[in-house]
Structure 1
């Protein structure tokens, strides 16, 4: 693979959006990173170029067989005008695990991370500085070969785009409502649930539409076999605080290995708060709610960071958790992890990486 990164600067910069109206994933910066793959050349021609549409043949295999993976991470501004990434090496490690599952050639994680830093430096002025905002980073790989055979492609393209964003949920750190899904299945062991691939997400749209009709923000998925055990929320891993102990579903071959999830577990352990990874059934959650031992529930993910769960709707039963208030632990976790991400608090775990 050619290690020489080419940079072509945009000559007509775009107007930047107002920081109070960013939303999530609506605006994109002036540049993007692109790199191609061919089975005979490996990954080659890495470049930062002006943000532009991509042109693909109608027979490009991505359109027909969905061979694609992606990641999501963020760049955060600090009060002293530095830019921090949060555990970015873990995102590129996970991207390669997704590539492995989808039969996509692996990337050089260190090189792509260094190229990302160059991209961010070029578009640094796009990083918003208002409270709760950040620069969202979306690396993705698509199969580009023109062929309708059912097999892995011989050519691919890796692209990284950047988007200034506000809160993922309109509620922000305020508790959200979640609908427990029993009809549809998100993933099963041996499937692609552990990979970040496009089909995992669009397959949840029907359940999400049903949740939205009931006034809920997201879907809580149960296991695909027994429809009994809690797995994850559509865009987050999930945690329950029961009798002082924090419980999260164990990684079982169908749950995405969240980087925020990993960080929360490490942080709770460091704080001396009991945290366990194990199977937890929705009936156990319901029982703990009914006997008043369910103290808090929250989701974790790059987009939302920490999102308190104020309501679970299961088969017509409405569980109002902590009187739909943000719990003390959820608040402390949110303030601690975002404080580290933005450089407002010390980083004893050495999680942040400065872009320089």
Structure 2
């Protein structure tokens, strides 16, 4: 963590929808993590993994079914009056009065916010200067997300919750938002981010957790999570060659391989060594490796592998449970 101070502290957090009579669903199943002051922590996961359900508990929008959550040392649900003035919240979807213009919307929100920034400053921060007189209903989807962010930043929050902040933004708008978030973090703001854009998490996060079916499947610094996954070398076998014609793969640091038609995909934790061995073999054999792709581990690959492994684990548990019930 960036600081020894735990600004967000979550222990065995649980959230349940429904009730015992009509049936219930446990969306968050014993999640634990902490976030230090000035740190940007990303929560990742597929749809239905429990990201938004978790964040809503941290924001104090609902009481947990079990476990403990503290934000700035307080329970965000039972001590909402002590937490709410010090946090900023950007929900997945904001609801604005359609007939108000942008400046009126910010001014209305500022009237409910302690120590609010001036309207012009808030609009300038998110690139909406010059759009103040435009009605909300006339804004594009990306501009509405910028307005959401402006309202989240009005109170100069110590902790900022960003739920899918760049959805609907074009590439330029996304990059501008990243720079703003980096500047806020540099000023000491603690940020908890959920996003479907893995590139965004990789670019911004100090640490992250990957959720699957309400549980944390992986957690750590971005480089740690990525480093735990293998790199890959992909190429098409030259005409007349077979997999067995390649040099011994084990001594090259190759830990596994897949063959799809003529396409070979090698897994390795020693990318330079493996790639050098394969390329030297191709040179000595006088062949060209078509469709050659040498790729280090990425957060996207780590995410997909972790999600797949967690899904396989769940399937095995369900199969075992079914066998036990049938016995």
Give the TM-score normalised by structure 1: 0.23
Kindly indicate which of the two structures has a greater share of residues assigned to helix.
2
Give the TM-score normalised by structure 2: 0.24
Asked which structure has the greater CA Rg, the reply is: 2
